[in-house]
Amino acid sequence: MILRLLMLCGLLAALPATAAVAKPSDKPLEKAAKAEETQHHLVEAANAVVGVRMRALANARSSERLGAERLGSGVLIAPSGLVLTIGYLILEADTVDVTTVHGRTLPASVVAYDHATGFGLLRPVAPLGVKAISIGASSRVETLDRLMIATATGEGVSIATVVSRRTFAGYWEYLIDGAIFTSPPRTDHSGAALINKEGELVGIGSLLVLDAATPGERLPGNMFVPVDLLKPVVDEMIATGRHKGGLRPWIGLNSLVDDGQIKVLHVTADSPAEKAGLASGDVILAVSGQKVDKLEDFYRRLWSAGAPGVELTLKVRKGDEVRDVKLRTMDRLDFIRKKPTI
């Protein structure tokens, strides 16, 4: 594992940041020293990645779709012990353990879960004994950049190419700007660290996708949540367990765009959508009288309706019938199960 890490870090250090031709150095010794320094930063960054193992609450609503036990990665982002991961790994957690690359395992508490960004924060009960990673600027990540993906499970470390940067609308009422898409794909993507040549964290792994480069065109890859989304909200997440941008109406639909229409894939049990009678196969035509045909439009109309708890009307096609469906939204964090406090 260590040998593979060193080889990959050395390869990445030798590559230009983008597909542009690297400029030759006038001083070979300086070039070699710089490559060695880069390799050192990359090794340190990979060592900041930890394994995350979670067991959900016995009555967790998310277990049906995410599993009662979840395994992924996270990365130490602060000397105080704060670990950043992808939020669905720790949603409705009963217990969480983190394991360093050196095999040290410690229990951790959930500090925050933020549905708006997709991030989750953990804090181990004691110092991990590894150096925290530096946070980079995901805004500087460009198409064709070569970056390192590091996990504490599965493949460990590998090199991937950024194939696109774009807005991402997830089927679970989720929307972010500037998502980073890479290829080739990794199946151990959950909470994976996306690291630039300077050894800085620029993204956290979220999904395996089939159209990484262009929507609708097949190229398997991964979607990473850019760390720039964390910077303005991390203090609030630590203080309150979330950030105010995530306080918005939620109805409990999983949807996709099919032939220019928003089709319902799944309705969450006991959600506002289920209580209103929505079902798999329904087509959402409008929100409060405003036509929607893209997930981005659907979510923005939904979230602009008011605070959680607002009542709204969806125009829905059920088979050959079009009807208005009224429902009362809610705050998603009021819906999920929470671990009892002593």
DSSP assignment string, 63-121: HHHH-SEEEEEEEE-STT--EEEEGGGTTTEEEEEEE-TTS-EEEEEEEEE-TTT-EEE
Give the residue carrying structure tokens 């009307």. Answer: 313
Distances (CA, A) of 259 to 166, 220, 293: 21, 21, 9
Predicted pLDDT of residue 16: 55
Say which residues have a Cβ less than 8 Å from residue 236's Cβ, sequence separation at least 6: 242, 243, 244
Average pLDDT over every residue of 100-128:
96
Please give the backbone phi and psi of residue 185, each rounded to the nearest 5 degrees, phi first.
Answer: -75, 155
Confidence band (pLDDT; 50, 70, 90) for 246? confident
Predicted pLDDT of residue 3: 46
Question: pLDDT of 144-194, one tens digit each?
Answer: 999 999 999 888 999 999 999 999 999 999 999 999 999 999 999 999 999
Give residue 342's identity as a one-letter amino acid code: I
Q: Max CA-CA distance within the chain?
A: 74
| Domains with residue ranges and CATH for the chain | 1-243 (2.40.10.120), 247-335 (2.30.42.10)
Question: pLDDT of 179-236, one tens digit each?
Answer: 999 999 999 999 999 999 999 999 999 999 999 999 889 999 999 999 999 999 999 9
pLDDT at 319 over 50: yes
Predicted pLDDT of residue 339: 86
Query: Per-residue DSSP letters for 165-191?
Result: EEEEEETTTEEEEEEEEEES--S--TT
Contact indicator for 224, 205 with CB cutoff of 8 Å: yes
Omega of the bond prior to 124 within 30 degrees of 0, cis? no
Question: Percent of the chain beyond pLDDT 70?
Answer: 92
How far, in Å, CA of 305 to CA of 314, rounded? Answer: 12
Contact indicator for 188, 73 with CB cutoff of 8 Å: yes
Kindly state the DSSP code that residue 219 receives in the 8-state scheme.
Answer: B
Contact indicator for 93, 61 with CB cutoff of 8 Å: no
Question: pLDDT of 24-34, one tens digit each?
Answer: 555 777 777 77
Residues β-bridged to residue 208:
222
Predicted pLDDT of residue 77: 98
Nearest to 48 by CA among 257, 204, 179: 204
Predicted pLDDT of residue 314: 98
Q: Which two tokens stand for residue 37?
A: 């320094």
Burial label, 206 (beta-carbon count in 10 A; 0-12, 13-18, 19+): buried
